[in-house]
Structure 1
Amino acid sequence: MPIEFAPLSIPVERRLQTAAVVQWVFSFLALAQTCIFVFFGLLFTRFWLVSVLYAIWWYLDWDTPSKGGRKCQLLRRSVIWRYMRDYFPISMIKTADLDPRHNYVLGFHPHGVLVAGAFVNFCTDATGFRTLFPGMTPYLLMLPLWFRAPFFRDYIMCGGLIPSDRDSAAHLLRREGGGNAVVIVIGGAPESLDARPGAFTLLLRSRKGFVKLAIEHGASLVPVFSFGENELFDQVENPKGSWLRRAQERLQKIMGVALPLFHARGIIQYSFGLLPYRKPIFTVVGKPINVEQNDHPSQGEVDRLHKLYIEELCNLFEAHKTRYNIPADRHLEFV
């Protein structure tokens, strides 16, 4: 297959957009491992005191990620994220107001390969979340594993990321005064194994923990669908039952992270690489589903609200799909 190289006459603006996405992909795939290597590597150099002092700080700061983290507005408002937004581009569409006197659980779909839409919309100010939803502060949940990486934990907390465990989410939903939006990528890492162009398969039928969480704290549920999320990468065929899929699922259970074999374009050529395609992402935030608070919800109560959530998510998808070039005969599939 001939390689299609990028032309030399590309505008500086587009080069900066590509550079912004390169650093993000590196951060997603390799920055945590790099930080671990640096932390231990410094111990064997004359800069060993840096790691020792950080280790003391880390011990004292251990619970911060589960207590709401530590946002850095300077980083969230960095021009880097505006360049990344414009690379695809990514935009957020509001369909209803969120009352800042209340707390919310936002269910984000689909996961995609690298959850680009969730990151740009909720971990940066590039798409105007604070303008669209004044008084609200978003917190995106991420695997707790990544908050055990030195230095890296501090970086991701700056964007408003918190561990994806019940206690971390509950801490925010218990806050009086409202204004907290806990964003959960419901399908999680396993859903990324089905992320490919044209796919609308969501891992949701058995995912009910977020519904129970919302009931326990009286937090309204908000479905969010990100059109275009699955269009960013191609993925090696891995149908259920194949040896590759079985190996990926086994590794996911052992390591806690999924390993989709994805590919798209490169930095100076368009034929292969790990950079996402320049495909638009439209993240549509649906209307809130009111939830009655109950400290001890029954399974029936959870099931009924879960069913209503799926119905509202389907309505959101159906109402907007033709606007974003989804064929009328395509519908969401749940597993």
Structure 2
Amino acid sequence: MLFGQKYGSVGRSDLTAIMKAGESPLMLVPGGFHEATITCPGHERVFLKSRRGFVKYALRYGYDLVPCYSIGEADLMSNPQGGWGWRFFLNAMSIPAVLPWGFPLLPLLPRRGVELVTGIGPAVKMPLIPNPTDADVKEHHQRYIAALQSLYDRLKVGTASAGRPLEVW
């Protein structure tokens, strides 16, 4: 989590304290280890279907959600695919199940010549709902995913990713 010029934990107690205090701006990256695990050149993927906690906190404390996306980022590194069950299990144990391979001679460096296009979409306004229900969270989670899809569709035009769909896992 990044807020202002500070970094912090995304643990429940830390996040709650920061949001109660109204720290702004606040940046959360919801994909985590799972998103790194599913990253694959030639595919644009986000791990969001089961990531609803950030929406619940946004509703509870009245934060808007701003979709951001970098097209081409997945092409910077190769990462073995498959074995999702055990890899997601390792991720849940805080062991990142990724094996990135970028530049041939120095594999931890990203590949050269990859076109990156980063965009920031308009804020998805969230109502203040102190005790959001599961239905509230699901509704606004869908709104966020739709906004991210819209941003992706605008960004991909004229890029190497123009023919790629955004895969929401």
For the criterion TM > 0.5, the same-fold answer is yes
Residue 150 of structure 2 aligns to a residue whose secondary structure is: helix
Question: Is there any run of 5+ residues in structure 2 with no aligned partner, and where?
Answer: none
1:319 paired to 2:154? yes
Residue 117 of structure 2 aligns to a residue whose secondary structure is: strand
Q: Provide the residue aligned with 2:167 in structure 1.
A: 333
Q: CA deviation at 1:222?
A: 0.8
Which residue type is aligned with residue 170 of structure 1?
T
Residue 48 of structure 2 aligns to a residue whose secondary structure is: coil
Question: Is there any run of 5+ residues in structure 1 with no aligned partner, and where?
Answer: 1-67, 69-137, 141-158
Q: Provide the residue aligned with 1:310 in structure 2.
A: 145
Separation of aligned partners in 1, 2:43 and 2:142 = 22
Within the candidate set 92, 95, 98, 1:260 is matched to 98
Q: How many residues align?
A: 168
What is the percentage of aligned positions where both structures have the same residue?
25
Larger RCO of the pair (alpha carbons < 8 Å, separation 6+): 2
| Alignment of structure 1 residues 181-220 onto 2, 5 Å | 181-220=25-64
Separation of aligned partners in 1, 2:131 and 2:89 = 34
Query: For the Cα contact (< 8 Å) 1:166–1:213, is it kept in 2?
Result: no
Q: CA deviation at 1:194?
A: 1.3
Q: Provide the residue aligned with 1:296 in structure 2.
A: 131
Separation of aligned partners in 2, 1:170 and 1:246 = 31
- Say which one has the larger Rg: 1
Query: For the Cα contact (< 8 Å) 1:169–1:182, is it kept in 2?
Result: no
Q: Provide the residue aligned with 2:21 in structure 1.
A: 175
| Alignment of structure 1 residues 113-152 onto 2, 5 Å | 138-139=2-3
1:226 paired to 2:64? no
Q: TM-score, normalised by structure 2?
A: 0.87
Residue 164 of structure 1 aligns to a residue whose secondary structure is: coil
Q: TM-score, normalised by structure 1?
A: 0.46
Separation of aligned partners in 1, 2:34 and 2:47 = 8
Separation of aligned partners in 2, 1:286 and 1:206 = 22
Residue deviations 1:97-150 (CA, integer Å, cap 9, x gap): xxxxxxxxxxxxxxxxxxxxxxxxxxxxxxxxxxxxxxxxx529xxxxxxxxxx
Separation of aligned partners in 1, 2:61 and 2:168 = 26
